[in-house]
Amino acid sequence: MMTSRRLTTVLTRTLEVKAGQAMTAGTRASAGTDEVRDASDPAPPLRVVARREPARRRPRLLLPAAAVVAVLALVSAGAIALHRYSPEEAVSTAALGDPPDGWLLPTWVPGGMELWGLEFSSWPAEERGSEPGTTIPQLFGDPDGGRAIYVNPSEFEVVADTAEPVTVRGRSGQAGPAWDVAENDVGEAITWTERGGTITALYKGTTRDEAIAVLDSLDWRSDDPADGFAPPGDDAWALRGEVTSWRSAGHEAGFTYSQGVPSQSSTDARPSLWIHTEASSQISAGYLAGWYQQGSQGGDTTRPVISFDADRGRMEVYWSDGRSIIIEQLGLLPGQAPDREQMEQVGRSLTVAQEPDLAALRDEVEAKTAALPVVASADAAIGRLEIHGEGNFLALCLNRPGDGPTTCPANGRGGATDMANADWTVDGTWHVGVASTTDDFEILGGHDIGRSPDAGVLPAETTSDGAWTFYLVTPPPDIDQVCLSHQNGAAITCGFIRPVT
CA gap 431, 426 in Å, rounded: 7
pLDDT at residue number 245: 57
Domain ranges of the chain: 5-346, 370-497
Res 33: pLDDT: 30
Cα separation of 262 and 117, whole Å?
Answer: 10
Residue type, 346: V
- In this prediction, residue 97 carries a pLDDT of 53
Q: Using CA atoms, how far apart are residues 68 and 149, in angstroms rounded to an integer?
A: 31
pTM score: 0.73
Which pLDDT does position 27 carry in this prediction? 29
**Residue-level pLDDT at 68:** 30
Query: Among candidates 436, 447, 494, which has minimal Cα distance to 475?
Result: 447
Q: What is the pLDDT of residue 42?
A: 39
DSSP 3-state assignment of 444?
Answer: strand
Residue 41 neighbours by CB under 8 Å, 6+ apart: none
- Alpha carbons 61 and 74: distance in angstroms, whole number: 9
All residue ranges of the chain with pLDDT < 70 are 1-99, 125-133, 181-182, 245-249, 264-269, 297-299, 331-336, 412-416, 450, 501
Q: How far apart are CA 237 and CA 148, in angstroms?
A: 7
Percentages helix, strand, coil for the chain, rounded to the nearest 5? 15, 35, 50
> How far apart (Å, rounded) are the C-alpha atoms in residues 25 and 320?
9
* Gap between the Cα atoms of 179 and 480, Å rounded: 33
What is the tens place of the pLDDT at every residue in 362-406?
999 999 999 999 999 999 999 999 999 988 889 999 999 888 889
β-sheet bridge partners, residue 9: none
User: How do residues 63-121 score in pLDDT, each as one tens digit?
Assistant: 333 333 222 222 222 222 222 223 333 333 334 455 677 899 999 999 889 999 999 98
Q: How far apart are CA 501 and CA 498, in angstroms?
A: 9
Rounded CA-CA distance 178/9 in Å is 13
Q: How far is CA 202 from CA 158, 176, 216, 251, in A?
A: 10, 10, 15, 30
